Amino acid sequence: MKDRIIRQRLLNFWHAVFKSWYFRPALCVFLLLFVYTVFLSNASVWAHAPLDVTVSEKGEKSTGLHAIWHDERGESDIYTARQANELGEFRTLETAGSTGLSAGVFWSHFTLRNRDSQPTTLHIEYVDHQLVGLQAFSREAASGDLYHEISHLSIYEPFASRQVAHNRFVFPITIAPGVTQELMVRFDVGDLGVAFPSLRIWSPQALQQNSKGETSLIAFLFGGYFLMALFALVGAIAIKEKILYIYSFYCASKILVWGTVLGYTHQYLMTASSHWGYASLSGAVAIMAGLVFARTFLETRQFTPKLDVLLQLMMLNAAFLIGCVLLELKALSQISMIIALLCYPIVVPIAMTRWRQGENAAGVFALGWATLVLGLLVQAMRDLGFVVHNPVNYYWPPVASFVEMLAIMGAIGLMVQRLRLQKDRAEKKYLQQLEISKSDLEELVQSRTRELEAAKTRAELEARTDPLTGIHNRRSFFEESNRLLKLAQRKGISLGILMLDIDRFKSINDRHGHLIGDQALCATARVISQHVREVDVFGRIGGEEFALLVSADGPGTLVIAERIHRDIAKIMIKSAQGPVQFTASIGVAQLRGQGDVLELLQHADNALYRAKRSGRNRVLEYETVES
C-alpha cells in the first residue's frame, strides 16, 4: 500500500511538471543546446592550406582531415606514402572526422607555417585514444628533401619512451621563423579499428594546462567510482547484502575500463607496454558485472522469467568475449563486443517492465542505464563518423557511465542510508588528499620521464658511435648500409663502396706510440668525412680499416676514392720524433644486381688486399683485380 502511494505521488509530480507553462519551452531549448554541443559543435579549424601557427596556440586549431590516404594492408612506409601523395591519391575525409571501422593504416598530409619571428615549438595532439600506433615525419616544404621521422609512438612501447608524457599520443615539433613545415602522419588502427586523423595544435604550456583540467575531471570521476565502491563494500559487510557486493565490484570495474580505454592505465600502472586486449578485457568484465548487477537488482529470475533469458544470453556473450580476449582471438572478440554493445539497451525496457510491476527503484535504475546507453550511442555515432569529434562527446561516455552509477546508487540509497555520513567524511578527506598529492605526482612523473629520455638518448648514441673517431661503428655501419642498399635496389640507384686501410699503421704505433696512432685514425676519419654526403654511410669497421658506402656509379666511386687517397697523403701529425705522414690503400667495388652489403664489402676487401700486395698506397677496383 505504501509503495503504491509513493508511485502515485511520483506520477502526479511528473504530470504537473509537464503541464507547467514554462517546462516545454525550456525542454526544447535544452534539447537544442544538447544536440549542438554533443553533435555539431566543433571549435577546431580544419586547414586545407598551410596553417599559420604561433607560440601561443591553445588547441583551437586542428589539421589533418583534408588529405587522407588509406592503406588497407597496413604495409606502407613513408616512401610509399610520399609516392601516393605525389600521385594525388590523398583525399579529403568525407565523414565528420572518423575513418569508421577499418583495417590497416591511414596517412595524413598537412603543412604548418610559423608566422612568428622566433622558433616555435608546438605539441601536436591526437584527439582520441583508439589507436595502436602513430608515426610522424617532417621536412621543410618545397625543399625536395627526404622526410625524417620526428616521432614514433605505440601502445606496445614503454610509456617512458614517449616524447611528451600524455595519456594520448602527442609529439613535439619545432618550426624555424618564417618556415613552412610539411608533415606526414601515419595512424595505425591494427587489424580493425577507428582513427580520427584530426590533430590539435598546442603550445607546450597550453597543453599542460589543458591536461591538468582533463586529469582533474578523470580524477573526480575515478574518485567518485572509488567512493561508491568503497561505501557499497562497507555497507555489504555491515548488513550482509549481496547486491551491495555486486554493486561495489561493478563500480571498481568502471575504474578499470575507463582507466584502460582513456590511456591512464598505460600511463601510471602498466608503463612497460600495453596491449589491444586490455581494453577489450576490462570492457568485458564491466559488461559482465553490469549484467549480473541488473539481473540481481531487478530480480528478473523471479518476476520476469522470459526477459531473464535475454539477460542470461547477454551474460553468456560477455563470458565468450572474455575467453576470446584471453585466447587472443581478436576478430571474434570484436564481433562479440559489438553484439554486447548492441544488446545493452535491452536492459532499459526490462527495468521499465519491473517499474510497471510496482518496483519504484527499477524506474530510477532504468533512468541511469538509459544515460549510459545514450553515452555509448554518442560514442558509436562519433566513431562511425556521423558526428564531429569534440571534448564534450569524447568525455560524454565516461561521464554518462558515472551518472549511471549515481542513479543506481540512488536506487539502492535506502539500503545504505546509515552509511551516508561516513561517505561524506571519506569523500572530503579523499578530495583534499587528491589536491595535495596531484601536483607532487605530476612533477615526479615529468622529472622521471625526462631522466629516462635523456638516458635512453645517451645509450642509443653510444651504441651506434665509434668512441674514438665519432663516426658509425661496425654495427651501426651495417644497419645504415642495409637500409641504404634496400632503398637503392628499390629505386634503381647506383651504389659503390670504398674499403680503406692505413698503410703500415702498426709501425706508426710501434715507433711513435698509440697516442699518435689514435691521432692518425682521427685525422683519417676527418679527411674522409669531408667527402661524405648526406646520402652516404661512413664508418670504422675495425682497427685502421674504414668503409664508405656512396651513392655513385663506377666512375664516380673511383673519383671519390682518388680524392680521399690524395687528401690522406697530405695529412701531417706532429710527434716527438718529427712530423708523421702516411698513406692509405683503398679497395673499390660496385653494386651489381641484388647483392647484399656483406658481398659488396667482400669484393672491396679483395681489391684492398690486392692493393696491399701490389705495393700499398694505391686505389684498386674489384673488376680490375678480377681481370
Query: Which sequence positions are flagged as catalytic?
Result: 544
Return the amino acid letter for 233: L
The 3-class secondary structure across 264-333, one letter per residue, is HHHHHCCCCCCCHHHHHHHHHHHHHHHHHHHHHHHCHHHHCHHHHHHHHHHHHHHHHHHHHHHCCCHHHH
Q: Nearest 10 degrees: CA dihedral of 238, 243, 245, 250?
A: -140
**Residue 235 to residues 223, 292, 297, 298, 411: CA-CA distances in angstroms?**
18, 19, 16, 19, 15
- Beta pairing class for 180-188 and 105-114: antiparallel
Name the residue with cell 575513418.
99
- Exposed e or buried b per residue across 457-471, where buried means at least 16 C-beta atoms within 10 angstroms of its C-beta: eeeeeeebbbeebeb
Which residue pairs from 590-598 have beta carbons closer than 8 angstroms and sit at least 24 positions apart in sequence?
Answer: 590/494, 590/495, 590/496, 590/497, 590/553, 590/554, 590/557, 590/621, 590/622, 590/623, 591/485, 591/488, 591/494, 591/495, 591/496, 591/497, 594/489, 596/482, 596/485, 597/478, 597/481, 597/482, 597/485, 597/549
For residue 475 the three cell numbers come to: 654495427
> Cβ distance 394 to 39 under 8 Å?
no
Mapped onto helix, strand or coil, the DSSP state of residue 175 is strand
Cα distance between residue 556 and residue 258, in whole Å? 61
Residue 618 DSSP class: S
Structural contact between residues 104 and 186, judged by C-beta atoms closer than 8 angstroms: no
Residues 173-193: b if buried by 16+ CB within 10 A, e if exposed: bebeeeebbbbbbbbbbbeeb
Phi, psi torsion values for 53, nearest 5 degrees: -130, 155
208-222: b or e for each residue (b if 16 or more CB lie within 10 Å)? bebbeebeeebbebb
Owner of C-alpha cell 596531484: 438
Backbone φ and ψ for 69, nearest 5 degrees, come out as: -130, 130
One DSSP character per residue, 535-602 reads: T-EEEEEETTEEEEEES--HHHHHHHHHHHHHHHHT--B--TTS-B---EEEEEEE--TT--HHHHHH
DSSP assignments along 361-415, one per residue? HHHHHHHHHHHHHHHHHHHHHHHTTSS---HHHHHHHHHHHHHHHHHHHHHTGGG
For residues 259 and 405, give the distance between their C-alpha atoms in angstroms, rounded to a whole number.
Answer: 16
